[in-house]
Amino acid sequence: KVQEAYDDLARQTMAQYEALTEAGFTFEFHSNPYDGRPVPAIHDLRDNKHMWVFPTAGGFGTGSTLNIGLADPAGGPNLNPEDVLQRLKDAGVEVKD
């Protein structure tokens, strides 16, 4: 049941991400997006439909490989569901606040 719930969350997350990208939003990986400050992220997202995001794999230290995920539609590094969920959370929370 846990795996089914996780798979369902991953499907829902990807559907939301695809809706954002179809609306013209872009997201890219960066090791220190916006120098840790939310206001530049809000402006970038609102004004440019763009947001830099910290990759999940970046939090695992150097030399680690985490590739449990999906090919980035833009041809960049593979995304895992956690990366996509983080993009959605940041897009919603940063703009709402």
Work out the percent of the chain whose per-residue pLDDT is above 70.
70
Q: How many independent structural domains does the chain possess?
A: 1
Question: Which tokens is 91 given?
Answer: 């897009």
Three-state helix/strand/coil letters over 28-59: EECCCHHHHCHHHHHHHHHHHCEEEECCHHHH
Q: What is the mean pLDDT of residues 4-33?
A: 84
Gyration radius from the chain CA atoms: 14
pLDDT per position as a tens digit, 26-51: 888 877 778 878 888 889 988 999 98
**What is the C-alpha separation between 71 and 58, in angstroms, rounded?**
17
Q: Which domain holds residue 79?
A: 2-96
Indicate the pTM of the whole model.
0.64
Q: Between residues 60 and 37, which one has the greater pLDDT?
A: 37
